[in-house]
Amino acid sequence: MTIYLARRCGQAAVLMLLVSVIGFGILHLAPGGPLSQYVLSSNMAQEDIDRITRQLGLDRPFLLQYVDWLVRMVTGDWGQSYRDGLPVLTKIATHIGPTLEIMLASTVIAALLGGVIGMRAAVRRHSLTDLLATGGAMIALSIPTFWFALMAIYLFSIELGWLPSGNRSTIGDGSLGDVLHHMVAPVMVLALVETAVWAQFMRASMLDTLGQDYIRTARAKGLRERVVIRAHALRNALLPMITLVGLQFPTLLGGALVTETVFSWPGMGRLFLDSLEYRDYPVVMGILMLSALMVMAGSLLADVLYAVADPRIRMD
């Protein structure tokens, strides 16, 4: 296990380096640049723009800019925001909490609901339940997340008035109940697409398990079908689902970005779009690297949990 973890950490370091090079290069080549907000201002003289360029280090070659940024990032200095001068880590720390809130809540709901739907669809294969589960999953995966978010606002906020249309809390309130009330809509939208993925994976895993020899043996021994499903098939069908935890991280982050934008949720997704709009590249790179790290950590965690859950797997 130790050798495996060391090897995976080495692979993750190489991937992080590639992500940083690609991300930094794309931002460097993007039109406009971080000085665009100053260039377009009629009150800025060319001397002032040149001075800001030197202060930000943008007058140096690309390779020197990248190496300097990489060294500072590895040592814990992720730079300062071009927009307000605050440290990048401080800005991310104030926004990562709300993102994790809706990500964890939607994952728990999707895993439980999708697991039940997928299991029932597999057990009742080719039935109306299976047809509705498969068709519903395809519809949920085909329709964009922002459409679900807009429909949720229209139905539950405008028409019925049950849920807030946006923000994380009511101004002047901020209690736990108020935050949970505001979480319902974004979590519901984010969990809807996730549930479809979990249901499809669970159905496929359950069908594969039900076709194994030990399941046929258990049935031949005269065990009740409920016992065969719950005591034998379900436990083994859940093992491949552990891998889905890590694979869902990119989808979760992408869905959270859209959901946070529509519902004005003050998370990393909203911060990422605002930073792109203001050409705040240090913040953009910080969020990009943190997101890549979260995805790799989720994948590694899924592999470790799978090995712990199934002793037959050796990670040498």
Contact, 92 vs 283, CB < 8 A? yes
Q: Side chain identity at 8, as an amino acid letter?
A: R
Q: Of residues 207 and 255, which shows the higher confidence score?
A: 207
Query: Is the pLDDT score of 273 beyond 60?
Result: yes
Residue with tokens 């709300």: 98
Terminal alpha carbon distance of the chain: 6
CA dist., res. 219 & res. 209, Å (int) = 13
pLDDT > 70: what percent of the chain? 90
Give me the numbers of helices (H) and strands (E) for the chain, helices first please: 13, 0
Q: Of residues 48 and 270, which shows the higher confidence score?
A: 270
CA dist., res. 292 & res. 255, Å (int) = 15
Per-residue pLDDT, averaged over 240-253, amounts to 71
Q: Of residues 250 and 88, which shows the higher confidence score?
A: 88
Query: Is the pLDDT score of 316 beyond 60?
Result: no
Q: What is the pLDDT at residue 231?
A: 76
Per-residue pLDDT, averaged over 89-105, amounts to 88
User: Token pair of 168, please?
Assistant: 């994380």
For 175-207, the pLDDT digits (tens) are: 888 888 888 999 988 888 888 888 888 888 888
